Amino acid sequence: MSLSCFDFADQKPQLTLEEAQQALLETATQITPAIKRSLQEAQGLFLAENIQAPIQVPQNTNSAMDGYALKGSELTQLKSWHLAGESLAGRGFNQTLQAGECIYITTGAPLPEGADTVVMMEQARREGDQVFFELGDKPPKIGSNVRQAGEDIQEGQLLLHPGQCLGSTELGLLASLGFSEVEVHQPLRVAIFSTGDEVTAPGLPLPAAGIYDANRFSVQGMLQGLGCQVTDLGILPDDLNAITSALRKASRDHQLILTSGGVSVGDADFVKQALVDLGETRFWRLAIRPGRPFAFGHLGQNQQGSTCLFAGLPGNPVAAMVTFMLLVQPLIKKLQGGYQNLTATWTAQTEEPLKSRLGRSDFHRGIYQVNPEGQLEVHTTGAQGSGILTSMHQANCLIRIPDHQTEIPAGDPVSIYPFHLWLAE
pLDDT per position in the chain (425 positions), as tens? 555 555 545 556 789 999 999 999 999 999 999 999 999 999 999 999 999 999 999 999 999 999 999 999 999 999 999 999 999 988 999 999 999 999 999 999 999 999 999 999 999 999 999 999 999 888 899 999 999 999 999 999 999 999 999 999 999 999 999 999 999 999 999 999 998 888 888 999 999 988 899 999 999 999 998 999 999 999 988 888 988 999 999 999 999 999 988 776 545 467 888 888 899 888 888 999 999 889 999 998 888 888 999 999 998 999 999 999 999 999 999 999 998 778 789 999 999 999 999 999 999 999 999 999 999 999 999 999 888 999 999 999 999 999 999 999 999 999 999 998 887 54
Return the closest-CA partner of residue 199 out of 185, 216, 186: 216
Residues 6+ apart with CB under 8 A from 90: 109
Q: How many CB atoms lie within 10 A of CB 318?
A: 26
From the centroid of its chain, how far is CA 133? Answer: 49
Note the pLDDT of residue 3: 55
Q: What is the DSSP string of 346-387?
A: EEEEESS-EE--TTSEEEEEEEEEE-TTS-EEEEE-S---TT
Note the pLDDT of residue 86: 97
Residues 6+ apart with CB under 8 A from 74: 81, 99, 100
The pTM (predicted TM-score) of the whole model is 0.85
**What is the C-alpha to C-alpha distance for residues 116 and 143, in angstroms, rounded to an integer?**
5
- The Cα angle at residue 216 between residues 210 and 217, in degrees rounded to 5: 105
Helix-, strand-, coil-residue percentages of the chain, each rounded to 5? 25, 35, 45
Note the pLDDT of residue 268: 45
**What is the C-alpha to C-alpha distance for residues 342 and 326, in angstroms, rounded to an integer?**
8
